[in-house]
Structure 1
Amino acid sequence: MPPRFAAPDAPSLPLHVVEEEAFADWRATRPAAEAAWLTATGFAAGLGEVALLPGTDGALAGAAAGLGNAARRARGRFHLAGAAARLPEGVFHMETDLAGAALEAEALGLLLASYRFDRYRAQTPPKAGFKAPAGVDAARVEALAAAEWLTRDLINTPASDMGPEALEDALFALAARHGATASAVRGEDLIARNFPLIHAVGRAGPQAPRLLEMRWGEAGPRLTLVGKGVCFDTGGLNLKPGESMGLMKKDMGGAASVMGLAQAIMALGLPLRLRVLIPAVENSVSSASFRPQDILRARNGLSVEVNNTDAEGRLVLADALALACEEETDLLISMATLTGAARVAVGPDIAPFYTDDDGLAAALTSAATDAADPVWRMPFHAPYETMIEPGIADLDNAPRGGFAGSITAALFLRRFVAQARYAHFDIYGWQPADAPARPKGGVGQGARAILGALPGALGL
């Protein structure tokens, strides 16, 4: 269960949030005994420092948490989250000069710091709880935390318990919680309903491939989210080496991210009409596997030569994007753990995105800063279009040469989009090492930036 802020009337102790630059002035305002204690313990408000403050009766009177200096703060995010693990049991309220987006981000970090993936092993959460800071919309921050919880849980669950069937169950459960409707096209019905690429990629898996759909909202602008739901990716007949296959339970990170984003949208009651599409498959090896040099016909009629069965994510997304564009939508967004090339370009911490809409790009970039959810715009570079045209078919799913792999994948997806307002996110979905509010494991990327951009992008 995602954490919530303590009740506003709950007894609490102060957590003084102090910047290094302001420490001397702040210490001068404290009682003499407390100032002496801070000096004796060596607290100087460095980033991540915590000092417990004793009362005159020997009981805990509060705590101080350091924010360090501006240069150190610029090198990270969720700075107070590290303090949460070092505080004793009790409820704390922040006393700080932070305001606006910076304060909301720190409040969110305090909730995210309590995340533990405990499905298979008991985990010990932090002891301290927190009140929502004055000026922060507690319901909104709690909704963001719950959305991130859902995304992390889905990614962290291994394919033995998160195959296409379980992903379908998770989407249906999400729909039920928020009064949405959900449906699925499964197995051979994919052929009858004209989803040939989803069927081809998933037909070798132990569970039938499927196209999942959820709808919510009766009025307002239309938003369509498409998430890659490859529940495990062996690489198919172009089998991945072992070290590359080790994290492939996270190859449904796009689906997990759009489901978390959808949960936040519904929990916050945004005035829009939401549609979520998830092609859910396993890319497995069997006698039914699709093969290199197969030529497949997509839902929109384009032919695709398969030059690497490990470039399967763009295939299943292609059918889903084509379906998305068969009805009017005001904004279409796809999210996928699509290419290693994106990680080479920007590393694991940044979510690169592609769009031809300059206004949408600006809104996403601005919202990402406020939401502590870093993104970076990449180009739909038209001169590279020839790289995805093999000659024997309309498209090549895996151009040779190794150059611009994330860009060519994005260009491939754009061929299946029949409307102008589109953005594609090529996310990693994984935190490779523990960081404040982000333990090693599955992580959401880009969803908060998208959520923050929606009011401007859709005129909400």
Structure 2
Amino acid sequence: MAPYQYIERPTPFTTKGGKTLPIFAVTPAHIETGTIDPIALDWARKAGYRAETGSVLPIPSADGHLGGALFGLGKNPSDAPFLTGKLARALPAGEWHVETAPLTANRLALGFGLGSYRFEKYRTEAEPGPKLLIPQDADATDIKRQLAGVFLARDLINTPTNDMGPVQLEAAFRQLAAHYKAEVNVISGEALLQSNFPLIHTVGRASADAPRLLEMRWGKKGHRKVTLVGKGVCFDTGGLDIKPSSSMLLMKKDMGGAANVLGLALMIMDAKLKVDLRVLVPAVENSISANAFRPGDIYRSRKGLTVQIDNTDAEGRLILADTLAYADEDEPDLLIDMATLTGAARVALGPDLPPFFTDSRDLAEAIEESSLEMDDPLWRLPLYRGYEKDINARIADLTNAPSGGMAGAITAALFLKRFVTRTRNWAHFDIYAWTPSERPHSPVGGEAQAIRALYHCIRNHG
């Protein structure tokens, strides 16, 4: 079964072999010492080519046609493991193979594949891109699996909310489940109150699209229980504590946690990992209308804890609270939640380095090892108990928005931890889910963060 794709797109790879054009990946030393193809070397020296990082120089054949290309790796190729993503945007359309490259086959092909991503659903004409022959010693099946997961996350995030509200997110959720023959259950609208999910209902009740909890189950009972929870705020106005217009521009990405756990679930199911998988996504739109929840309101959560609403723009932790409490009741062996939760995480670590939080040293070490192995950057931040007092409210058990503005990513994680009391191995990921400036392996737009590392961790660490 081919990996599921939310938006069908041409494959970035070819299988034609000998009919492809060569790419010579070179460092400045290769040019200086002359240790590359003689025709390519002569052309490079005449053109003053210095093999700077990411530079591409087309080279002619003996008869004057396009004969190949030089690709600059710079002086330290290991500094950019997915640099070959630039080739996917810089080479002319055609079919190519890498003739020489001091890179691992998997990194080379995965980098090209990641860089080939284009979101062209709303363009009237799509530009054809180059295709690469996957090296024989690369794991082509796993590379395509990872690309499918990453592209699914990117596609869902990039789709504007008029086409990706709670209704459409549920449809994408069901499509993924159907592809891998997973079971789906959905609790929607007033049924959320009847099923004791009051906070999910509270946040989403003002929207024209009813709030809902999406649940997917796949795998075999008796295998290791792995539960993934993703924040699915399809658009966040901020509620009655309304955001300024500039802050709303990217709020279609506030369901980035949901998009990422779906991408991770795709990888797990496609690889047929021996796990009992459960995926939970609270899907809502934080809108404004006469029945919107208000600052100062107090609501009882599924866990029984009461929460005082001190800011309606801190809604993500509310829907996660009910969902994590539900997940925790099953006592999974591993519980992962992912959310575009706090601006404080971006202030601390920037857009490219997502923080994660866990009390389990063994789990933290496994995640960190996988992060390095997969070149999928992460950084652990502490669940510092000294800040527990900050999430206490005066007339309720908890506040959803501590005053003072300090350590916001940590206090948000501590808030979530109050709803996970049975599960030993829980980790919370506060992701940005967006690339604000182009990188070799990712254009500006929605981004998959941490899911390749988590896929590796779940696959290789029991």
Q: Which residue of 2 aligns with 1:28?
A: 35
**1:229 touches 1:251 (CA, 8 Å); kept in 2?**
yes
- The AA in structure 1 aligned to 2:49 is F
Q: Which residue of 2 aligns with 1:57?
A: 63
Do the aligned partners of residues 229 and 437 (structure 1) sit closer, same or farther apart at CA in structure 2, a change above 3 Å counting?
same
- The AA in structure 2 aligned to 1:428 is Y
Identity %: 50
TM-score by length of 1: 0.94
Unmatched runs of 5 consecutive residues or more in structure 1: none
Q: Which residue of 2 aligns with 1:368?
A: 371
Task: State the 1:295 CA deviation.
Answer: 1.1
TM-score by length of 2: 0.94
- Structure 2 SS opposite 1:350: coil
Task: State the 1:9 CA deviation.
Answer: 4.2
**2:31 touches 2:45 (CA, 8 Å); kept in 1?**
no
Task: State the 1:126 CA deviation.
Answer: 5.1
Q: Which residue of 1 aligns with 2:167?
A: 165
* Bigger mean CA deviation after superposition, 425-434 or 354-363: 354-363
Deviations 1:224-276 (A, max 9, x none): 00000001111111111111111111100000000111111111222211110
Q: Which residue of 2 aligns with 1:237?
A: 240
Do the aligned partners of residues 302 and 96 (structure 1) sit closer, same or farther apart at CA in structure 2, a change above 3 Å counting?
farther
Q: Which residue of 2 aligns with 1:405?
A: 408
Deviations 1:403-424 (A, max 9, x none): 0000000000011112110000
Task: State the 1:97 CA deviation.
Answer: 4.6
Task: State the 1:123 CA deviation.
Answer: 5.3
Distance 1:53 1:263 in 2: 40
**2:27 touches 2:51 (CA, 8 Å); kept in 1?**
yes
**1:205 touches 1:284 (CA, 8 Å); kept in 2?**
yes
Task: State the 1:22 CA deviation.
Answer: 4.0
Task: State the 1:34 CA deviation.
Answer: 3.5
Task: State the 1:69 CA deviation.
Answer: 1.3
Q: Which residue of 2 aligns with 1:68?
A: 74
**2:256 touches 2:433 (CA, 8 Å); kept in 1?**
yes
Q: Which residue of 1 aligns with 2:48?
A: 42
Task: State the 1:154 CA deviation.
Answer: 0.7
**1:279 touches 1:316 (CA, 8 Å); kept in 2?**
yes
Runs (4 or more) in structure 1 with deviation over 6 Å come to none
1:387 aligned to which of 390, 403, 411: 390
- The AA in structure 1 aligned to 2:454 is I
* Bigger mean CA deviation after superposition, 287-296 or 313-322: 287-296
2:321 aligned to which of 313, 318, 323: 318
Distance 2:390 2:40 in 1: 67
Q: Which residue of 2 aligns with 1:83?
A: 87
Deviations 1:52-85 (A, max 9, x none): 2322232333222111012x752x4521221232
Q: Which residue of 2 aligns with 1:432?
A: 436
Do the aligned partners of residues 265 and 176 (structure 1) sit closer, same or farther apart at CA in structure 2, a change above 3 Å counting?
same
- The AA in structure 2 aligned to 1:93 is H
Distance 2:408 2:101 in 1: 45
Q: Which residue of 2 aligns with 1:183?
A: 185
Task: State the 1:4 CA deviation.
Answer: 4.5
- Structure 2 SS opposite 1:273: strand
Deviations 1:170-199 (A, max 9, x none): 100000111111110000000000000000
**1:43 touches 1:50 (CA, 8 Å); kept in 2?**
no
Distance 2:454 2:404 in 1: 33
Distance 1:64 1:296 in 2: 62
Q: Which residue of 1 aligns with 2:447?
A: 443
Distance 2:158 2:328 in 1: 31
- Structure 2 SS opposite 1:212: strand
- Structure 2 SS opposite 1:402: coil
Do the aligned partners of residues 348 and 311 (structure 1) sit closer, same or farther apart at CA in structure 2, a change above 3 Å counting?
same
Q: Which residue of 2 aligns with 1:421?
A: 425
**1:143 touches 1:267 (CA, 8 Å); kept in 2?**
yes
**1:154 touches 1:162 (CA, 8 Å); kept in 2?**
yes
Distance 1:28 1:371 in 2: 30
- The AA in structure 2 aligned to 1:20 is P
Unmatched runs of 5 consecutive residues or more in structure 2: 1-7
- Structure 2 SS opposite 1:80: helix
Residues paired across the two proteins, number: 452
**1:429 touches 1:444 (CA, 8 Å); kept in 2?**
yes
